[in-house]
Amino acid sequence: MANIITRKSVMTLFSSPTCPMSHCARFVLHEKGITADIEYYDPNDPPEDLLELNPTGTSPTLIERDLVLYDSRIIMEYLDERFPHPPLHQMDPVSRATARMVIKRIDQDWYQLLDEILYSGEKKSARAKKLLRESLLSSAPIFAARPFFMNDEFSLIDCVIGPLLWRLPSIGIDVSTPNEEITSYAQRIFKRSGFKRSLSEAEKDMVEMQK
C-alpha cells in the first residue's frame, strides 16, 4: 500500500474485501462513476499510516485531501453530495429525510442481525438468522410494490439493501417466495453495472441468489 500521507490529493477508499458496510460505500462509488482508488486491507491489521488518520482502523475509511471519514453511511451521503449527478437521494427535504429514516431502520432491523450472524456464537447466530429471514419475508410486499425499495428510482436505500441480500445465500438464508418478490428485486440490483464493479474478489466468490 502506498504511503497515505503522500496521496491525500487523491480520493481513496480503504475497504475490507468482505465487510457489507464497506460494500455499500463501494456500490455508491461505482454507481456514480466516481474516480477513486480502492485499497483493500484487513481491518484486524490496519496499516500504521492509516491509523495515523483514522485511529479506529475501521472499514470503510474515505480520505480526500484533509477530509477523513470512517462511517459508511456518512461516506455514502458525502459521495452523493460531492458528486451530485446522478443523484441517489431525491431533491426535496421531506423525501431525503424519509430515505434517511428508512436506512436507519434497515441498519437497526437487518444489519444488526447480519452482524450477529457473522460475528457471534452459533446459538445467537441461529436465532439471528431466523429473525432476519422472517423480517425480510414480512417485507416482501414492499419489495414487490415498486421497481426499487419504496421508490420508482434507484436510490441510496438500494445501495444499502443490495450488499445485504448478496450475502444471504452464503450465510444459509433463503428468502424465496411463491412470487419471488425479494429475489426479483435482488436480481435487478445485482445486474446493475455499478453493483458488479463494486464486488471484491472475495465477494464474487460468495454464493449468488438463485436465478
Burial class, 92, CB count within 10 angstroms (exposed 0-12 / middle 13-18 / buried 19+):
exposed
Dihedral of alpha carbons 73, 59, 28, 17, sign: negative
**Using an 8 Å Cβ cutoff, are 60 and 49 in contact?**
no
CA angle 33, 91, 86 (to 5 degrees): 15
**Using an 8 Å Cβ cutoff, are 88 and 154 in contact?**
yes
Catalytic entry in 11, 19, 29, 175: 19
Active site residue 19: yes
Which residues are designated catalytic?
19
